């Protein structure tokens, strides 16, 4: 390696809307299972190509949640696909999948083979509507995992309710007969308030007072459980 040579690729961070889009997963082992489940969470239309599959994947196929073609990959399997995730250890198959993906302009992720990836999957912290994605661009997955674990502690389960609450308050503010500037001031003031802490500590009286001071209705239904 020459001095200054780049070890990792440069990626453009983006969140994809995969709802209803055909996503192909090649490989029916545990790794393939994880990829299928994450794609289903994104409401993608998933096709699995693999001679074998885990019990979980078999059940998903039986229930009609995914399409399972019980065979090895063959050229043409990416026709109409939006992206492909492949978990195979066969170098010739990896090359064929990547070449077809490139030819058809299909996003490709080859698990653990960065040179055959046009996208990578980040480490993720998920709290309801809040999604935090972490990537080291392949430099150190262990560091990405460490950062994720730290963020999971910083952004606890209360953030799921917090985002629901802020969505509710934003809708109320947008319906008020105020100038755009006045609305922006209210939104900023609420965003800067330590509301997650109040939710975590169940200090609902203080939270209610803050919201009502802004001329808004406290949505008590969000805290009934």
- The answer to whether residues 172 and 147 belong to one domain is no
For the chain (length 225 residues), average pLDDT per consecutive 10?
56 93 97 96 97 98 98 97 95 96 97 90 92 89 93 95 97 96 96 96 95 96 87
pLDDT the model gives residue 8: 66
Q: Is 13 within the bounds of a domain?
A: no
HEC letters along the chain? CCCCCCCCCCCCCCCCCCCCCEEEEECCCHHHHHHHHHHHHCCCEEEEECCCCCHHHHHHHHCCCCEEECCCCCCCCCCCCCEEEECCCCHHHHHHHHHHHHHHCCEEEECCCHHHCCCCCCEEEEECCEEEEECCCCCCHHHHHHHHHHHHHHCCCHHHHHHHHHHHHHHHHHCCCCCHHHHHHHHHHHHHCCHHHHHHCCCHHHHHHHHHHCCCCCCHHHHCC
Q: Is 26 within the bounds of a domain?
A: yes
- The answer to whether residues 115 and 172 belong to one domain is no
- The answer to whether residues 149 and 113 belong to one domain is no
pLDDT the model gives residue 151: 96
pLDDT the model gives residue 10: 81
pLDDT the model gives residue 150: 96
- The answer to whether residues 58 and 90 belong to one domain is yes
| Domain total in the chain | 3
pLDDT the model gives residue 114: 86
List the domain range (segments joined by +) for residue 43. Answer: 22-121
Q: What is the model's pTM?
A: 0.82
- The answer to whether residues 82 and 70 belong to one domain is yes
- The answer to whether residues 114 and 53 belong to one domain is yes
- The answer to whether residues 27 and 112 belong to one domain is yes
- Cα-based distances in Å from 139 to 9, 111, 142: 9, 15, 9
Q: Is 16 within the bounds of a domain?
A: no
Q: How many CB atoms lie within 10 A of CB 103?
A: 10
pLDDT the model gives residue 68: 98
- The answer to whether residues 81 and 97 belong to one domain is yes
Q: Is 37 within the bounds of a domain?
A: yes
- The answer to whether residues 27 and 42 belong to one domain is yes
């Amino acid at each position: 390696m020459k001095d200054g040579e780049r070890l990792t690729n440069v990626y453009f961070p983006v969140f994809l809307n995969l709802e209803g889009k055909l996503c192909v997963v090649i490989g029916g082992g545990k790794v393939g299972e994880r990829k299928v489940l994450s794609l289903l969470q994104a409401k993608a239309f998933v096709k699995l190509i693999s001679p074998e599959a885990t019990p979980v994947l078999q059940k998903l196929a039986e229930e009609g949640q995914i399409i399972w073609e019980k065979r090895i990959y063959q050229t043409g399997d990416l026709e109409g696909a939006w992206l492909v995730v492949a978990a195979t250890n066969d170098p010739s198959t990896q090359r064929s999948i990547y070449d077809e993906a490139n030819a058809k302009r299909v996003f490709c992720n080859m698990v653990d083979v960065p040179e055959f990836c046009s996208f990578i999957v980040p480490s993720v912290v998920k709290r309801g509507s809040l999604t935090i994605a972490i990537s080291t661009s392949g430099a150190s997955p262990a560091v990405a995992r460490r950062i994720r674990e730290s963020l999971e502690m910083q952004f606890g389960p209360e953030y799921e309710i917090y985002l629901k609450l802020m969505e509710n308050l934003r809708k109320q503010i947008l319906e008020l007969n105020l100038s755009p500037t006045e609305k922006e001031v209210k939104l900023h003031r609420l965003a800067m308030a330590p509301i997650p802490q109040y939710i975590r500590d169940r200090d609902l009286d203080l939270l209610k007072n803050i919201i009502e001071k802004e001329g808004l209705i406290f949505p008590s239904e969000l805290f009934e459980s």
